[in-house]
Structure 1
Amino acid sequence: MTRSRAQKSKFGESAFIGYIQDQQRTNHTDQLHCLFACFLSQLEPTSIAKALEDPDWVAAMQEEMQQFINQKVWTLVPLPDGKNAIGTKWILKNKRDARGIVVRNKARLVAQGHRQEEGIDYDEVFAPVARIEAIRLFLAFASYMGFLVYQMDVKSAFLYGEIEEEVYVTQPKGFEDPYFPKHVYRVVKALYGLHQAPRAWYARLSAFLLQHNYRRGTIDKTLFIKKDSRDILLVQVYVDDIMFGSTNKVWCDEFEVLMKGEFEMSAMGEMNFFLGLQVKQLPDGIFISQDKYVKDMLTKFDMESVRTATTPYEAAKTKLKDETDPPVNVHLYRSMIGSLMYLTASRPDIMFAVSACSRHQVTPLTSHLNAVKKIFKYLKGQPKLGLWYPKDSPFQLEAYSDSDYAGSHGDRKSTTGGCQFLGRRLISWQCKKQTIVATSSTEAEYVAAASCCAQVLWIQNQLLDYGFNFMNTKIFIDNQSTICIVKNPVFHQRTKHIEIRHHFIRDANEKNLIQVLKIHTDDNVADLLTKAFDGPRFEYLVVHIGMVDMVFCGILFSCDCSFCCAQFDIAGWLVSATSHLVSAGSLQSCWYNNVSAK
């Protein structure tokens, strides 16, 4: 109910505020949230006409227009002959916190960039953004060094970037100049929606930080570093979201003051939500999850009341000749796959399942939709699984590589799987169907090892900016023939059919950048990313790849019973002398009982 509508109700705004105060709530934060929500519209208008009827949204649009005036984004001029004006559009969205409470009515004026013509309205448009692996690497380093990570948000970031092209936009609806209604705005600063806006903003921000003695990352151009012999400050930029942390708290305060002096910033304190990742910073480590997104996704696709599943995927069965498999709604299928792919940023346990289902987006059938629903059933039962980065784990790079030979029954191609760790912190993983048809399991493993090596080399170069030089990184492979081919630089009968682009792993081995080691198949955690498994084996791999439940993470250090201590060390990593995974249900039950008892 919007504020304007609440005024027409029999209770009204003042009655609601009075009711909240009469409750005499002891939770002061919740009380302030409730009071603040009274002055925000709870509904998003479906048209600009309805928005202009609501004073809350009018205020939000006026705030946006004031930003344009403050930043001197444009000037009102008559449209020159031979020039075309690009349209503008209002985007009206409610901003919510992690609990779903509306905290802001956000009105954003954007240009209709699809009407721009290349070479006339824009030229270069590429702007670097941080890779999700870089974000996880940043958090892994923070957990190892033991410092807090903070977050800042730039208000109307794109309005700070300057553009060189001559661009004109129409006056926004509801805010036309009464004296010059036919005039247009000539854009001086980058406007949201313009193709060149992200590039202009990045150029503006990077120039400012370089001017103040920050060094840009060698590989990752969105990473900015300041360090001396004892301390280091890291700044990671993703468009207008900035995360930073330092071993010296004073440096964080100085950086915040520096940014606020140049840009209009929103200091958000300790980082707990970044790019859809929920980050919980604890004294003994950092926990990364997306349980809120899982809940929203289950609600979106009406999967809240389904039965749970113990695994996300089952191997496809051969269909009978007379078995029907009708097609399904392609838009629904693609929407479900797209939502699941976003979730793989913190859930390697569903990576293989999502990758396998995403191969059928052109003509999805009922069997394919049932496979996707199986993933949702698994998420229903395990919504709070996430990555645990323990503080006391060593900071040493190692990787695991594996492949499933001819695992794709349709074209008999193999599946590449790989994962990279910093100690016990999983920071990167891959699952991809190979582009070639391998003629042997050795060839499939060799191609997978080359893919894993490429990711390891990128991480090595990234860590040079952090001050770590990792040579001889261990890559564990469960195929002895592959290890022999990597170590033997001679091309012979068994390797001449392998494409040359995969042989760079030999060069990396000769330069001592990596070393390949044999590991038993049962201990290769990359196996999780190559094929489907039954319940016990799947649970074993999920835990050993570094995933724990949020409930476990939150109460791990408050439980001192002998059962839990026998299964977990102080870092929260499962250690079982018999190499068998103890039932997650029994552990959870034990912890629940201990907490309730306390």
Structure 2
Amino acid sequence: MVLITWRLFLLWPVLTLFGFFSLLQLISLGLYIKNAFLHGDLHEKVYMDQPPGYVVPGQEHLVCRLRKALYGLKQSPRAWFDRFSAVVLAYGFHRSTFDHSVFVRHSSTGSIVLIVYVDDIIISGSDSNGIAALKQYLGQQFHTKDFGHLRYFLGIEVARSSQGLFLSQRKYVLDLLTETGLLGTRPSDTPMDSSVKLAGDTGDFFSDIGRYRRLVGKLIYLTVTRPDITYAVGVVSQFMHAPRQPHFVAVCRILQYLKRAPGRGLFYRPSSSLSVAGFNDADWAGNTTDRRSTSGYCTFVGGNLVTWHSKKQTVVARSSAEAEYRAMAHTASEMLWVQSLLQDFGFSVSTPMRMFCDNQAAIFIANNPVFHERTKHIEVDCHFIRDLLLRKQLVTPYVRSEDQLGDILTKPLARPSFLRLSAMLDMFDLYAPA
């Protein structure tokens, strides 16, 4: 499976809504840099042939040395980001050491957060005069296009009210259904049949491999705001090298599920608390082909979902406790990243962080100072988790299996459990009829 977290965009609600700015004062703008890669300065020696139509007569054997980046060069993305970073840092911003695409500036008049994705920029904060001055400054340095208040960003729709922010990809879903001819299909209640186990050697080969890969690729991008399809998309993405007919049927099942609620997305509420919590789970030996387990976790800040992850483990776990403990280690690492990011911006994070687990054996191993034969193969993870417990950065409370939010990221669920956990993730359809 693949990592289904687009941290860049989901950082924006985290850094703007959680109690530091009033929603009535919050300003969020979209900005676009035209011909961004052409602004990059090359520090390596790169040569190119003289372009057609501009060959100097008598000097056809000469080549041109590039001083600026061009589209198509491998160095162009890095050169552009180095130039952009230098411009923003010179204006008084500082770059996060935990996510280099995020810049922040605090002043007596307010705070400004800037997030960049290649040539698309989000500017958000409570300092309206500072944001206006920043836009003017960037316009002097680059050729920019101002999209105004943020409503649409790279296929993600933003709806704002006094209660919070809602992110969805409704238009993206409808376009995908139209492209595949499934706009009028019968909707499904869940993205994956809980009674079906996909294997790599069952069924006839799917004739159009390119179509399968394109569909799965578009579904992967859709998981930016749809954690409810994360597991199903992760499963079908495992067969992109040689898809078979049952795999394509599973992809169509995901599209049928999207048809039921194309406008479903994530809702972020303001909160005065920066408490970090995580839920982790593992489906022990769930893969029938190689018997590897699937890890899944989701993390919350102030009660709002910010990151999630679903991935097949790299080794075979010999017990459910081992599989769960490996998932705990990944969850703890993600929670530390979220905590460090918030602290990097000067926000105090309440500790200890809570990491909920539904496996009593894994919790006991985490709190047991004695190592023995049953834990030596995961000893590094044991030391990592136990060190966090001793420093009181982390606690591992028990949660009932029916309330374990990580279940939705590790296995296909029946309709009642799936709908209940989706609601607990604060997912709903803003466009559903009242």
Same structural fold, with TM-score higher than 0.5 when normalized by the shorter chain: yes
Paired amino acid for 2:226: R
Contact 1:348 1:429 in 2 (8 A): yes
Question: Which residue is equivalent to 2:409?
Answer: 529
Instruction: After superposition, give the CA deviation of every residue in 1:40-59 in whole Å (9 maximum; x if it has no partner).
Output: xxxxxxxxxxxxxxxxxxxx
Question: Which residue is equivalent to 1:246?
Answer: 125
Contact 2:109 2:127 in 1 (8 A): no
Paired amino acid for 1:426: L
- Which range moved further: 237-246 or 495-504? 495-504
Question: Which residue is equivalent to 1:382?
Answer: 261
Contact 1:231 1:247 in 2 (8 A): yes
RMSD (CA atoms): 2.3
1:425 to 304, 313, 322: 304
Paired amino acid for 1:328: F
Structure 1 residue 184 displacement after superposition: 6.2
Aligned pairs for 1:76-115 (under 5 A) are none
- Which range moved further: 254-263 or 390-399? 390-399
Instruction: After superposition, give the CA deviation of every residue in 1:42-80 in whole Å (9 maximum; x if it has no partner).
Output: xxxxxxxxxxxxxxxxxxxxxxxxxxxxxxxxxxxxxxx
Structure 1 residue 363 displacement after superposition: 2.4
In 2 relative to 1, CA 347–180 (structure 1 residues): closer, same or farther, beyond 3 Å?
farther
2:204 to 317, 326, 329: 326
Q: How does the TM-score come out when normalised to structure 1? A: 0.66
Contact 1:159 1:190 in 2 (8 A): yes
1:312 aligns with 2:212: no
Instruction: After superposition, give the CA deviation of every residue in 1:358-405 in whole Å (9 maximum; x if it has no partner).
Output: 222232221121111111111111211100012357442211111112
Paired amino acid for 1:253: A
Contact 1:234 1:245 in 2 (8 A): yes
In 2 relative to 1, CA 326–178 (structure 1 residues): closer, same or farther, beyond 3 Å?
closer
Instruction: After superposition, give the CA deviation of every residue in 1:553-574 in whole Å (9 maximum; x if it has no partner).
Output: xxxxxxxxxxxxxxxxxxxxxx
Unaligned residue ranges in structure 2 (runs of 5+): none
2:378 to 471, 488, 498: 498
In 2 relative to 1, CA 230–400 (structure 1 residues): closer, same or farther, beyond 3 Å?
farther
Structure 1 residue 463 displacement after superposition: 0.9
Larger Rg: 1
Instruction: After superposition, give the CA deviation of every residue in 1:469-504 in whole Å (9 maximum; x if it has no partner).
Output: 323111111112211211223212331232525641
Give the Cα–Cα distance (whole angstroms) in 1 for the partners of residues 273 and 263 of structure 2: 26
Question: Which residue is equivalent to 2:72?
Answer: 193
Paired amino acid for 2:279: Y
Contact 1:474 1:515 in 2 (8 A): yes
1:372 aligns with 2:251: yes
- Which range moved further: 222-231 or 332-341? 222-231
Q: How does the TM-score come out when normalised to structure 2? A: 0.90
Give the Cα–Cα distance (whole angstroms) in 2 for the partners of residues 199 and 141 of structure 1: 25
Aligned pairs for 1:306-455 (under 5 A) are 306-315=185-194, 317=196, 325-329=203-207, 330-392=209-271, 394-455=273-334
- Which range moved further: 542-551 or 394-403? 394-403
Instruction: After superposition, give the CA deviation of every residue in 1:263-310 in whole Å (9 maximum; x if it has no partner).
Output: 211111112222332222223211111111111211222222221100
- Which range moved further: 276-285 or 372-381? 276-285
Give the Cα–Cα distance (whole angstroms) in 1 for the partners of residues 197 and 229 of structure 2: 23
SS of alignment partner, residue 306 of structure 2: strand
Matched residue pairs, number? 419
Higher relative contact order (CA 8 A, sep 6+): 2
Instruction: After superposition, give the CA deviation of every residue in 1:311-359 in whole Å (9 maximum; x if it has no partner).
Output: 010135479xxx9821113222222211111111110000111111122
SS of alignment partner, residue 46 of structure 2: strand
Which aligned segments of 4 or more residues in structure 1 are displaced greater than 6 angstroms?
none
1:475 to 355, 373, 376: 355
SS of alignment partner, residue 431 of structure 2: helix
Contact 1:284 1:392 in 2 (8 A): no
- Which range moved further: 299-308 or 437-446? 299-308
Structure 1 residue 409 displacement after superposition: 1.6
Aligned pairs for 1:272-287 (under 5 A) are 272-287=151-166
Give the Cα–Cα distance (whole angstroms) in 2 for the partners of residues 157 and 362 of structure 1: 34
1:135 aligns with 2:9: yes
Give the Cα–Cα distance (whole angstroms) in 2 for the partners of residues 445 and 538 of structure 1: 21
In 2 relative to 1, CA 508–275 (structure 1 residues): closer, same or farther, beyond 3 Å?
farther
Give the Cα–Cα distance (whole angstroms) in 1 for the partners of residues 190 and 279 of structure 2: 22
Question: Which residue is equivalent to 2:93?
Answer: 214
